[in-house]
Amino acid sequence: MVKKLLFILAVAMVSDLSSQLKAEAALETFKEKYQQEKVHLLFDKNSYLAGENLWFKSFVFDGYDPSMISTNLFVELYDQNKTQIAKTFVPLQNGRGSGSLAIPETLKENIYYIRAYTTWMTNFSEDFQLIRPVEIYNPSSPEKLVKDSLSAWSAVVYPESGTFIEGISTKFAVRLNSKGFTPSEWNGYVIDTEKPDIKITSFTGFDENVGAFELIPQNGKNYQLILSDTKGAKQNINLPKVASSGVHLKVKSGLESVTLTLNGKNLSASGYKIIGTMNSQMVYKAVVPKITGQVLSIPADKLVNGILYISVFDDQENIVAQRLCFVQHESLKIKRPDLQSLTLDENPRASNSFSIAKENESDYSVLIMDGTGKSSEDDNSLLSTLWLTGDVNSKIIAPAQYFKEKSNGEALDALLISEKWKRFDWKMMMLGNYPVIKNKPENYISYKGKVSVQEKPAPNTDLNLVFSNSGQPTGFHQVKTDDKGFFTLNGLIFEDALKVSYQLNTEQKIPKEQVQVIFQPGFDFVPYKGNMPESRYQLVKRTPNESLPDEVAKYVANKKTQQIFNEKTTNIEEVKLKGKKKNLTKELNNQLSSSLFRSVNEVVFDFVNDNTNNVTTNILQWLQGRVAGLDIQSQAGSYVPMLRGSGVGIYLDEMPVSADISTLPVADIAMVKVIKGYFAAGFGGGNGAIAIYTRRGGITGSVNNSARPSMLKQISLKGYQKEAPFISPDYSSEDFKNTPQDVRPVLYWNPYLEVRQEPAKVQFYNNDEAKNYRIIILGYDKNNYVPVYYDDAVK
């Protein structure tokens, strides 16, 4: 969020520190060259049944903004032994993507793990890749999942800023840990080991993660913390030894300012430097001659929500104190979408609807559940990923709790006292030790090809490539090999398999049997080196004829009903297809354009079947005045298309080209399509496009399938896996009204609800039981740099 972060400087002149700028220079290098991505996944459900599909919507951030670094996200499913069960990868547009994973029918009941990462993220610690446990049930498994209620818990104490100095009041964070579940209700007190019967201070834990207390230590004293939970379990923990010297940093993060209080004892440095960073960017710097209870203030309104990392350096640029805190927890910058025309009917299978107005957002992710259902946002929300766990890699139970309405800011502050910043290490950076970049971000799907003639490389040779998908040609491309016979294809976006026919473009006719092209993908899944987290569940033997938990029983019933929905939807589509009249222009559009170049807001000009489309000028000039909002401007001798005042891309057979296409023979044009606004292939833009399609073999005046020329050889390239369709019933149709049972936990799932000038309408049908609904809407307001977030139960 570079555009929102402001640099704040507080200066006290100290000549001894004026030349010590290693930390600042190292940080600048890290910020410019080693951007940090983080991933959030919204699942359609919180747990699954073997044999179901798992749908997800992905959000990839660069700091606090949608990432423009990566164009692919890799998603994998593992068991506890790190055996890979399933995998997929999805394209990212402005940091967002969606997909599905098929959970095998035979998968045994257990805790499994979703891993998500980008290629760029593999250059850094695996700890910052997303690893999310998922409960997968299978009633036919011999064992079932139960909560681990037997594992003991332990605790660790952390003094604020890492120092515990004689006579200086110090706040401690107490962090609970367990292989299983930690207690949500617990308390503690502190004693002097020489007077164990006297409680110096007492406290109650905030939650199942953390608690806090404050203490003024005396030299020579040994302090001990006594903890206990409501079940009688106890822990005795020795506090650190009291130091006779050092620097202590006390931080208070409020609505108006972040206040830093610096105290020290028996210090020898000639001056100190305080640096505050957010998202690897320096936002605050102060230089002080000595530390004697100074109070420094950072205006909170100059910063954004997120973790502020404060470091105190001595005159040799050694870190003597450090602290993490959260900025303006009392005022989280969140935009709630405006739900309009909300119409709800709690009767079984009744229709419900509402609309969402467009507010600096082109699309939203919308999930609507039966109000009794659990969501993946319950424990790990978009907000907690963006502001906490995306940068803090320790085990935090239900981090979403710290960003819900009326959440406890003191609990979050105590949690951050117990954390250490691990995105970068000051000492290593100042020594010049930065991450080694081995894997650069790919440009969507890329392939490296090698051309051989009679098994010898074909250097500096032109090669014609014809692409086809589902039997239909989708583009033509010409490449030239390098000195060793290699070439590269970048920026490909297609699903399943892309057929590539190839032929040498040489005057000398070479038999196709002597020509060979080998393709090597430029993208790949990266093996996970670490171990999966410990599960908080155990497997116990399932007894014969035992009843299933209500949630699992509903999953089993819904799985059967969903099979009926799928069959009915397939039959309906087949009937529609058979009864549909042929439309030559539509058929031409379907033949020439891929699904990524389709839009409900497109204007198609057919030069094959419509004899009225006669072009005697440049094709761009011809379009002037024929499409509302499209303006063809002449700039520096070239024609530049503008749509509603913004430039649009030009594509020739779905490959980007420059605006100078005056040399394109009009007789070779089969179709021109003007797309307004968002379309799937419009990555990096989305304002629209002019797509020009050339005539191919068989396209002479009617639509026919192209016969592949005899000199072409063909190979198949692997693309993105198709996302499984999410089927919901339409109870306005007679085909669904005789469905025997409907206990769907998810009533509506749309990872891309497009919002245009008019509000976007959401319509869904009840199941047989729902009396209230949980509506989750996620997005990002790119104009105000804030997340769009709605998670409410409505009746």
Render 676-736 in DSSP notation, one character per residue: ES--TT-TT--SEEEEEEE--TT-SSS--PPPPPTT-EEEEEE-BPPPPP-----TTSGGG
* Separation between Cα atoms, residue 164 and residue 168, nearest integer Å: 8
Comparing 16 with 427, which gets the higher pLDDT?
427
Could you tell me the pLDDT band of residue 703, with boundaries at 50, 70 and 90?
A: very low
Q: Which two tokens stand for residue 212?
A: 């806090």
Task: Examine residue 481 and state whether it is found in any structural domain, yes or no.
Answer: yes
Around Cβ 421, how many Cβ atoms within 10 Å? 19
* Strands 486-492 vs 445-453: parallel, antiparallel or unpaired: antiparallel
Around Cβ 125, how many Cβ atoms within 10 Å? 13
Q: Which two tokens stand for residue 102?
A: 């098929």
User: First vs last Cα of the chain: how many Å apart?
Assistant: 37
* Separation between Cα atoms, residue 226 and residue 178, nearest integer Å: 17
Task: Examine residue 505 and state whether it is found in any structural domain, yes or no.
Answer: yes
Half-sphere exposure of 607 (CA within 13 A, CB side): 21
Which residues pair with residue 630 across a beta bridge? 643
Model confidence pLDDT, tens digit, residues 268-285: 888 899 999 999 999 999
713 phi and psi angles, rounded to 5 deg: -105, 160
Task: Examine residue 464 and state whether it is found in any structural domain, yes or no.
Answer: yes
**pLDDT attached to residue 15:** 39
Strand extents, DSSP E, 580-648: 602-606, 630-635, 638-643, 646-647
Model confidence pLDDT, tens digit, residues 206-239: 999 999 999 999 988 999 999 999 999 999 999 9
**pLDDT attached to residue 571:** 64
Residue 197 has pLDDT above 80, yes or no: yes
Which residues pair with residue 675 across a beta bridge? 602, 689
| Closest-CA residue to 307 (of 331, 289, 323) | 323
Q: Which two tokens stand for residue 44?
A: 């359609």
| Closest-CA residue to 643 (of 681, 685, 585, 612) | 685
Residue 264 has pLDDT above 50, yes or no: yes
| Closest-CA residue to 719 (of 447, 398, 348, 319) | 447
**pLDDT attached to residue 526:** 92
Task: Examine residue 461 and state whether it is found in any structural domain, yes or no.
Answer: yes
Task: Examine residue 471 and state whether it is found in any structural domain, yes or no.
Answer: yes
| Closest-CA residue to 357 (of 776, 759, 761, 775) | 759
| Closest-CA residue to 660 (of 678, 641, 687, 685) | 641
* Separation between Cα atoms, residue 783 and residue 4, nearest integer Å: 11
Tell me the whole-structure pTM to 2 decimals.
Answer: 0.81
Model confidence pLDDT, tens digit, residues 651-699: 888 887 766 666 677 777 889 999 888 776 665 446 788 999 888 655 6
Query: Could you give the percent of the chain with pLDDT greater than 70?
Result: 89
Around Cβ 288, how many Cβ atoms within 10 Å? 19
Task: Examine residue 517 and state whether it is found in any structural domain, yes or no.
Answer: yes
Residue type (1 letter), 637: G
Residue 575 has pLDDT above 60, yes or no: no
State the average pLDDT over residues 607-630. 79
Residue 370 belongs to what H/E stretch? strand 363-370
Model confidence pLDDT, tens digit, residues 155-177: 999 999 999 999 999 999 999 99
Domain boundaries, position 478: 445-521
**pLDDT attached to residue 700:** 53
Could you tell me the pLDDT band of residue 709, with boundaries at 50, 70 and 90?
A: very low
399 phi and psi angles, rounded to 5 deg: -60, -20
Task: Examine residue 270 and state whether it is found in any structural domain, yes or no.
Answer: no
Ramachandran assignment for 432, one of left (phi > 0), alpha (psi -120 to 50 degrees), beta (any other)? left
Could you tell me the pLDDT band of residue 399, with boundaries at 50, 70 and 90?
A: very high
Task: Examine residue 514 and state whether it is found in any structural domain, yes or no.
Answer: yes
State the average pLDDT over residues 306-329. 95
Strand ranges of the sheet holding 306-313, from the earlier edge strand across to the other edge: 8-11, 281-288, 272-278, 306-313, 319-327
Instruction: Read off the DSSP letter of residue 757.
Output: S
Helix (H, G, I), strand (E, B) or coil at 640: strand
Comparing 652 with 102, which gets the higher pLDDT?
102
Most confident of 57-61, 287-291, 595-599: 57-61
Around Cβ 515, how many Cβ atoms within 10 Å? 21
Helix (H, G, I), strand (E, B) or coil at 312: strand
Counted residue by residue, the chain has a size of 795
Alpha carbon 58 to its chain centroid, in Å, reads 4
* Separation between Cα atoms, residue 502 and residue 462, nearest integer Å: 11
Q: Are 390 and 128 in contact (CB under 8 A)?
A: yes
Helix (H, G, I), strand (E, B) or coil at 249: strand
Q: Which two tokens stand for residue 23?
A: 């930390």
**pLDDT attached to residue 17:** 47
Model confidence pLDDT, tens digit, residues 520-550: 888 889 999 999 999 999 999 999 888 999 9
DSSP states of 604-621 as a string? EEETTT-TT----S-HHH
Q: Which two tokens stand for residue 590?
A: 């379907």
Residue 472 has pLDDT above 80, yes or no: no
Around Cβ 624, how many Cβ atoms within 10 Å? 15
| Closest-CA residue to 175 (of 133, 218, 225) | 225
Residue type (1 letter), 516: Q
Residue 746 has pLDDT above 90, yes or no: yes
| Closest-CA residue to 117 (of 129, 100, 101) | 129
Residue type (1 letter), 288: V
**pLDDT attached to residue 16:** 46
Model confidence pLDDT, tens digit, residues 109-152: 999 999 999 999 999 999 999 999 999 999 999 999 999 988 99
Helix (H, G, I), strand (E, B) or coil at 420: coil
C-alpha distances out from residue 679 to 589, 649, 753, Å: 15, 12, 12
Cα torsion 732, 736, 741, 746: sign: negative
* Separation between Cα atoms, residue 396 and residue 403, nearest integer Å: 13
Could you tell me the pLDDT band of residue 565, with boundaries at 50, 70 and 90?
A: confident
**pLDDT attached to residue 269:** 86
Ramachandran assignment for 142, one of left (phi > 0), alpha (psi -120 to 50 degrees), beta (any other)? alpha
Q: Give the count of domains, the chain.
A: 1
What distance separates the 2 farthest-apart alpha carbons in the chain? 101
Residue with tokens 């309009």: 340
* Separation between Cα atoms, residue 348 and residue 771, nearest integer Å: 9
Which residues pair with residue 273 across a beta bridge? 287, 313
* Separation between Cα atoms, residue 653 and residue 674, nearest integer Å: 13
State the average pLDDT over residues 491-501. 83
Average pLDDT, the chain: 87
